[in-house]
Amino acid sequence: MRSLLYILSALAVMGLAYWAYSENYKTQASLDRSHALQGEIGRMQEELAVLRAEWAYLNRPDRLRDLARMNYDKLELNVLEPGQFGRVDQIAFADDDELPEITGAVDVIGDLEE
């Protein structure tokens, strides 16, 4: 009986050793994958910073103004100037009593064949 207990104990120790060994390798693989992902995230953040810098460079107001002027005959885009903008207090809103009362359905689609 004692020898059976020793054999079962030895098998249990070997089984636990194998489990600990496999868990160690799984942990190491997960850590390696985590380090690889961290490196990839860093590279992507650098790439995103470069793309943002390129976007800012391409959207310079003087460049866009020149492009709008060069392609006016095709696109008919007007150049935006600061004087074209106003303040909200300069907008003339209609009085509530001047608005017509809506009594029925309103056709917002209109006739498509026109």
Query: pLDDT, tens digit, for every residue of 24-78?
Result: 999 999 999 999 999 999 999 999 999 999 999 999 988 988 888 888 889 888 8
Query: Using an 8 Å Cβ cutoff, are 79 and 69 in contact?
Result: yes
3-state secondary structure of 110: coil
How many angstroms separate the first and last alpha carbons of the chain? 101
Residue ranges per structural domain of the chain? 2-60
The pLDDT assigned to 4 comes to 92
Tokens of 90: 């300069």
The pLDDT assigned to 112 comes to 55
The pLDDT assigned to 103 comes to 80
| Residue 113 confidence (pLDDT) above 70 | no
On the CB side of 84, CA atoms within 13 Å amount to 4
Query: Using an 8 Å Cβ cutoff, are 71 and 77 in contact?
Result: yes
